[in-house]
């Protein structure tokens, strides 16, 4: 049984020649990243990191550069296409399924927060939205609702896609440098990107639970203070004092 498992690992480590990897890998990378920009389900960060691991173990000095350029260009093109489709939904009376899909992925709180940040820091918000997991769609929807022109959006998105491609390529380079076999680096890079994408969702869930528990405590405190104010109304001048205390507790 151990020999069979060793054989599977050895087969996984045997990659085709570099010419075949490049002929198949770069078009596949472009299509998957562009598709992931249009349909925010494909894990494009893990794909870029995996491609960077394979490129790190190749002998071509430009392999990593090609991965970076292809990933950044595909991400920018996919973002521009999705934004254009969203603009069509904004302008039409009945909207579009693309715009409805964007709205369905964003909570009102996250949309309001993205709109607030977009009013003060447009380019920096676009860059950070690409780097933060699940942050791209709220900012893109905020840009659509603010009727930002496509040309201005693309100008900010170019820097965002370059920073995004560089970040996930560095993750792949790290995975490729730590392990001698490419498949080992791919596993490490994919695991790291999955962990990075899961942390913000877990943090939002914990904050949501804390926010849900907080109002109940404040409501109980307010009821106690209100009760004290009512009891104070039985004495001369006490009603005024009780109402002042209630106002102080709930500004």
pLDDT score for 158:
94
Determine the Cα–Cα distance for residues 44 and 38; give it in Å rounded to an integer: 11
- pTM score, whole prediction: 0.68
Asked which of 92-106, 108-122, 127-141 is least confident by mean pLDDT, the reply is 92-106
Is 182 a residue whose pLDDT tops 90? no
Whether the predicted pLDDT of 243 surpasses 70? no
Residue with the bigger pLDDT between 42 and 63: it is 63
Question: What is the pLDDT averaged over residues 69-76?
Answer: 96
pLDDT band at residue 151 under the 50/70/90 scheme: very high
- pLDDT at residue number 94: 57
Structure tokens of 209?
A: 């639970």
Determine the Cα–Cα distance for residues 39 and 42; give it in Å rounded to an integer. Answer: 7
Is the per-residue pLDDT at 175 higher than 90?
A: no
68 has a pLDDT exceeding 90: yes
In the structure, what pLDDT confidence band is assigned to residue 225 with cuts at 50, 70 and 90? Answer: very low
Residue 104 has pLDDT above 70, yes or no: yes
C-alpha to C-alpha distance for 158 and 140, rounded to whole angstroms: 14
CA atoms of 154 and 35, how far apart (whole Å) = 17
Q: Decide if pLDDT at 12 tops 80.
A: no
Q: Are the CB atoms for 40 and 173 separated by under 8 Å?
A: no
């Amino acid at each position: 049984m151990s020999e069979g498992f060793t054989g599977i690992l050895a087969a996984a480590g045997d990659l085709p020649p570099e010419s075949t990897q490049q002929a198949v890998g770069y078009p596949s990378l472009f299509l998957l990243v562009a598709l992931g920009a249009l349909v925010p389900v494909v894990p494009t960060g893990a794909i870029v990191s995996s491609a960077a691991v394979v490129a790190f173990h190749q002998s071509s000095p430009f392999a990593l550069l090609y991965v970076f350029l292809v990933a950044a260009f595909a991400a920018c093109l996919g973002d521009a296409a999705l934004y254009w489709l969203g603009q069509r939904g904004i302008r039409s009376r009945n909207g579009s399924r693309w715009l409805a899909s964007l709205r369905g992925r964003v909570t009102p709180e996250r949309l309001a927060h993205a709109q607030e940040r977009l009013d003060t820091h447009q380019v920096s918000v676009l860059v950070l939205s690409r780097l933060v997991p699940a942050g791209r769609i709220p900012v893109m929807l905020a840009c659509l609702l603010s009727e930002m022109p496509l040309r201005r959006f693309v100008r900010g998105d170019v820097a965002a896609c370059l920073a995004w491609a560089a970040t996930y390529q560095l993750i792949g380079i790290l995975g490729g440098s730590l392990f001698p076999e490419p498949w080992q680096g791919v596993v490490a890079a994919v695991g790291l990107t999955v962990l990075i994408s899961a942390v913000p969702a877990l943090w939002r869930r914990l904050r949501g639970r804390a926010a849900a528990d907080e109002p109940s405590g404040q409501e109980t405190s307010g009821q106690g203070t209100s009760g004290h104010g009512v009891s104070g109304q039985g004495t001369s001048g006490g009603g005024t004092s009780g109402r002042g205390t209630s106002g102080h507790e709930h500004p």
